[in-house]
Amino acid sequence: MLTFSTIATAGAARAGVLATPHGVLATPAFMPVATQAAVKAAGPDEVVATGARMVIMNTYHLWLRPGPEVVAELGGLHGFSRWPLVIATDSGGFQAFSLAERTRVSEAGFEFASHLDGRRLLLSPEESMRVQGLLGSDIALQLDVCPPGGAERPVLVDAVDRTTRWAERCLGARRPDQALFGIVQGGTDIELRLSHAEALGRLPLDGLALGGFSVGEPRAEMYRALAAVGPRLDPLRPRYLMGVGTPLDLVDAIGCGIDLFDCVLPTRNARNGQAFVADGKISLRNARFRADARPLEVGCPCPACSRGFSRAYLRHLFMAGEILFHRLVTLHNITFYQRIVRAARTAVVEGNFAAWATGCRDRWASAGAGEVGGDANPRRDAETVE
């Protein structure tokens, strides 16, 4: 079903191999977000060509539309979307956080008012597992409670305790041939995080994810908690940091022992006219690119760069509202993220990760922290509602 092994370490950073029914994944790895069973503005073959070998799709959205039974009839998510490699599905827990005004929580689960038609629907741990089973993802995520950044300790404790109980219910309801990851909560309270990781570590879960980061807490607090908790997660299981992913976040989190990432920034920033490049992030809205003949980045293998499209042409496409811009810059940004995790893996294997990471930080700092850092909380505006 799923196996994981570590092949090299450098401090807490590690390079590993994650084997699934739909392929073997070298870690660290970044998953593009395919909320509605599609990466926005890109086809499956194009995403594979960026180097991505795994995507994450969303249980809540596919539960509402087109419905898991339809997806199952059409071959599960792999057959339905034509994505040939590894698929993970989020459980719907984050949507309960991001759609809080439409949601009520109880021990039974989350009662949603659908953002499509207002129907009242109950997403319980058992229903989340039923839906993910029909979707047929390789890796399912347990239903969890994601408290907001800055939540008081009693709120965090309640979220941790309920998430543990729901993990047990998810294990009892999961599809036997589908891997299941538990989700460690606790905000930036290190003691709670570690105790929750220990509690979930006693369960027969296939991997451990860190949820509830990048939801409004100060970035420094997130890093402090991640540095304390990441290296202490079970070393025999894959570790997944959910919804966090500026380039700097990836480098620092890999240094804390994280293996898997997802984030909407590569696709969302592309739609906003922003491209990631080796020494920062550029906004093609800027008039200074109006006659810039350079590609986004020399040596980048993405379609935009390898075919010689200039920054001036890309800016023209954006200003003219041409869909081609979104496709080309989306593919460039995803390729950039794949290059980061591949370079990190090489640095771990070669034993020079610390020096490589310092070089990344220094290079990006010289471009200005905001240029590469992106938004302070990139998951806050995740692709929740179309």
Give the residue from 204, 232, 267 where a domain finishes.
267
* Higher-pLDDT residue of 327, 245: 327
For residues 184-189, give the mean pLDDT: 98
Predicted model pTM: 0.95
**C-alpha distances out from residue 221 to 218, 234, 327, Å:** 5, 22, 35
Asked about 262 being catalytic, the answer comes back as: yes
Same domain, 121 and 18: yes
Q: Is residue 383 part of a domain?
A: no
pLDDT band of residue 370 (cuts 50, 70, 90) is very low
pLDDT band of residue 279 (cuts 50, 70, 90) is confident
Helix (H, G, I), strand (E, B) or coil at 137: coil
What confidence tens digit (pLDDT) does each residue in 87-140 have? 999 999 999 888 888 999 999 999 989 989 999 999 999 999 999 999 999 999
Q: Is residue 378 part of a domain?
A: no
Q: Is residue 211 part of a domain?
A: yes
Same domain, 161 and 98: yes
Give the residue from 252, 267, 282 where a domain finishes.
267
- CA 280 to chain CA centroid, Å, is 21
Q: Is residue 330 part of a domain?
A: yes
What was the pLDDT predicted at 208? 98
Q: Whole domain around residue 321: which residue ranges?
A: 269-373
Q: Of 90, 138, 206, 259, which is the active-site residue?
A: 90
User: What is the count of structural domains for the chain?
Assistant: 2
Same domain, 200 and 146: yes
pLDDT band of residue 371 (cuts 50, 70, 90) is very low
- Could you give the strand order of the β-sheet that contains 3-10, starting from the edge strand earlier in sequence? 3-10, 13-20, 23-27
Same domain, 191 and 302: no
What was the pLDDT predicted at 383? 47
- Of 7, 85, 6, 72, nearest to 39 (Cα)? 85
**φ, ψ at 185 (rounded to 5°):** -110, -175
* Higher-pLDDT residue of 1, 134: 134
Q: What is the distance between the alpha carbons of residues 301 and 310, in angstroms, rounded to a whole number?
A: 14
Same domain, 21 and 168: yes
pLDDT band of residue 386 (cuts 50, 70, 90) is very low
| Full DSSP string of 229-283 | HGGGS-TTS-EEETT---HHHHHHHHTTT--EEE-SHHHHHHHTTEEEETTEEEE
Same domain, 176 and 37: yes
Same domain, 78 and 199: yes
Same domain, 120 and 205: yes
What was the pLDDT predicted at 82? 98
User: CATH number of the domain that 40 lies in?
Assistant: 3.20.20.105
Asked about 161 being catalytic, the answer comes back as: no
For residues 33-54, give the mean pLDDT: 98
Same domain, 174 and 158: yes
pLDDT band of residue 372 (cuts 50, 70, 90) is low
Q: Is residue 384 part of a domain?
A: no
What was the pLDDT predicted at 365? 82
What confidence tens digit (pLDDT) does each residue in 215-272 have? 999 999 999 999 999 999 999 999 999 999 999 999 999 999 999 999 999 999 999 9
Q: Of 177, 189, 262, 279, which is the active-site residue?
A: 262
Same domain, 249 and 369: no
Same domain, 217 and 309: no
Give the residue from 242, 267, 292 where a domain finishes.
267
- Average pLDDT in the chain: 94
pLDDT band of residue 377 (cuts 50, 70, 90) is very low
Same domain, 112 and 203: yes
